[in-house]
């Protein structure tokens, strides 16, 4: 049965020959006329990051995350170390390695952006050597980012103390992470970033821009409830979006607004429906979005007349969400 390591592209090399393997890979690419860095300076690597494919990662999912890393590197030239842990049932007892690289040509001949991958497969018995191997596989003097994908338990991920403490950002996706991932006592909780929050950026911006046209006192006075309904497929996004709204609005005036999530009715169309309810019904605000169509509709009346505004709605693509979570 294929695993993440075998599903990913690359040239298998001895674990002790990674640096030599990368050099030979680029030399062979150049000899065949393919785009390759002319020197170490030409690679202009900007980012180190470790992509950790947890036990819940299928081969198809591993390949998809690999493609996301390649797409990310078109903007940020990278050295990526991919970790593929083996289950305790695996018969393999030694660490294995692959190398892979791509260069993307920009608008000019001198605009060449490259990505280098080091893919490591390891059984539990070699875990004690992993940190050293990761360290020597990364480019020196560059910030490190750690992306933990589909890990099975927060407590097991906590064993990777070197990465959790050294990384400038630790990236998780709360839509597919264990339930306690956002509340687990990580060694550096301030470094934790949620990819769900990152990919909601266009929606957060759209809502923020619309609501910012009204004074906070107008939005808050008499607010009793904020209710967000979702289609089920975007439960994590709805949870994070409601948390963001609660953080921005919180307690309004003398009233403490109630914030709630609910599923959309079975016959309802769209992805999200947001509603602010006010005392006496004197004011109104609603927003509905359909991510499949890429559309949204604002409707509001804060005492100065009814406003209706169509808008776009969408989530960031994976590589853009990755950069948002890393750098912002």
User: The domain containing residue 302 runs over which residues?
Assistant: 201-312
- Any domain includes 156: yes
Task: For residue 199, give the 3-state DSSP assignment.
Answer: helix
In degrees and rounded to multiples of 5, residue 45 shows phi and psi of -60, 130
Is residue 325 in a domain?
no
Residue 146 sits in the same domain as residue 15: yes
Whether residue 57 lies inside any domain: the answer is yes
Least confident of 102-106, 136-140, 195-199: 102-106
Same domain, 116 and 242: no
Confidence at residue 133, expressed as pLDDT on a 0 to 100 scale: 95
pLDDT of 289 over the 60 cut? yes
Q: Is residue 143 located within the same domain as residue 290?
A: no
- Of 111 and 59, which is predicted with more confidence? 59
Report whether pLDDT(132) > 50: yes
Q: 275 and 307: one domain? A: yes
Q: Convert the pLDDT of each residue in 50-103 to its tens digit.
A: 999 999 999 999 999 999 999 999 999 999 999 999 987 767 789 999 999 999
> Is residue 134 situated within a structural domain?
yes
- The whole-number pLDDT of residue 83 equals 98
Spatial CB neighbours of 212, under 8 Å, sequence gap ≥ 6: none
- Check whether residue 28 and residue 108 sit in a common domain: yes
Closest CA to 228 of 281, 279, 286: 286
Taking all residues of the chain, what is their mean pLDDT, rounded to a whole number?
92
> Mean pLDDT over residues 152-156, rounded?
95
Order of all β-strands in the sheet with 96-105: 11-13, 96-105, 112-122, 78-85, 47-53, 144-149, 169-172, 192-194
**pLDDT score for 106:** 73
Domain-terminating residue out of 151, 170, 197: 197
The proportion of the chain whose per-residue pLDDT surpasses 70, expressed as a percent, equals 95
226 and 274 together in one domain? yes
pLDDT of 41 reads 47
pLDDT score of 124: 86
Say yes or no: 122 and 221 in one domain: no
Residue 84 belongs to some domain of the structure: yes
Q: Confidence class of residue 153 from pLDDT cuts 50, 70 and 90?
A: very high
In terms of domains, do 207 and 193 share one?
no
CA 294 to chain centre: 20
Do 59 and 135 lie in one domain? The reply is yes
Domain boundary (172, 197, 222) is at 197
Per-residue pLDDT at 109: 67
**Domain end residue (candidates: 165, 197, 229):** 197
Predicted pLDDT of residue 123: 92
pLDDT in tens, 188-223: 999 999 999 999 999 999 999 999 999 988 999 999
Within a domain: 76:
yes
Confidence of residue 253 (pLDDT cuts 50, 70, 90): low
Number of domains in the chain: 2
Rounded to whole angstroms, the Cα distance separating 44 from 52 reads 24
Q: 3-state secondary structure string, 146-183? A: EEEECCCCHHHHCCCHHHHHHCCEEEECCCCCCCCCCC
User: Is 300 exposed, middle or buried (CB count within 10 Å of its CB: 0-12, 13-18, 19+)?
Assistant: buried
Cβ neighbours of 153 (radius 10 Å) = 16
Rounded Cα distance, 61 and 153, in Å:
18
CB of 176 within 8 A of CB of 199?
Answer: no
Q: What gap in Å lies between CA 257 and CA 151, rounded to an integer? A: 36
pLDDT band at 148 (very low <50, low <70, confident <90, very high): very high
Same domain, yes or no: 84 and 206: no
How confident is residue 39, by pLDDT bands cut at 50, 70 and 90? low
């Amino acid at each position: 049965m294929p695993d993440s390591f075998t599903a990913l592209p690359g040239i298998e090399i001895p674990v002790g020959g990674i640096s030599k393997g990368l050099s030979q890979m680029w030399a062979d690419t150049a000899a065949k006329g393919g785009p390759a860095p002319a020197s170490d300076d030409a690679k202009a690597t900007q980012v180190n990051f470790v992509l950790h494919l947890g036990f819940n990662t299928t081969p198809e999912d591993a390949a998809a995350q690999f493609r996301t890393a390649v797409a990310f590197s078109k903007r940020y030239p990278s050295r990526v170390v991919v970790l593929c842990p083996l289950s305790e049932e695996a018969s393999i007892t030694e660490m294995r390695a692959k190398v892979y690289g791509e260069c993307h040509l920009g608008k000019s001949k001198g605009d060449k952006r490259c990505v280098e991958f080091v893919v490591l497969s390891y059984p539990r018995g070699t875990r004690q050597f992993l940190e050293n191997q990761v360290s020597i596989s990364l480019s020196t003097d560059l910030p490190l980012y750690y992306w933990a994908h589909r890990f099975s338990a927060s407590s097991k991920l906590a064993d990777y103390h070197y990465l959790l403490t050294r990384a400038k950002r630790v990236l998780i996706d709360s839509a597919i992470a264990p339930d306690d991932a956002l509340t687990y006592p990580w060694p550096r909780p301030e470094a934790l970033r949620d990819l769900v929050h990152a990919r909601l950026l266009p929606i957060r911006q759209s809502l923020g821009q619309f609501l910012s046209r009204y004074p906070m006192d107008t939005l808050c006075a008499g607010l009793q409830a904020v209710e967000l309904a979702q289609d089920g497929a975007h439960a994590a996004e709805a949870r994070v979006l409601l948390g963001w709204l609660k953080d921005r609005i919180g307690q309004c005036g003398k009233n403490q607004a109630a914030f709630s999530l609910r599923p959309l009715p079975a016959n309802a169309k769209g992805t999200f429906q947001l509603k602010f309810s006010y005392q006496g019904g004197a004011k109104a605000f609603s927003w509905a979005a359909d991510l499949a169509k890429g559309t949204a509709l604002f409707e509001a009346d804060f005492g100065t007349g009814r406003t209706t505004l169509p808008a776009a709605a969408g989530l960031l693509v994976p590589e853009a969400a990755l950069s948002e979570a890393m750098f912002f």
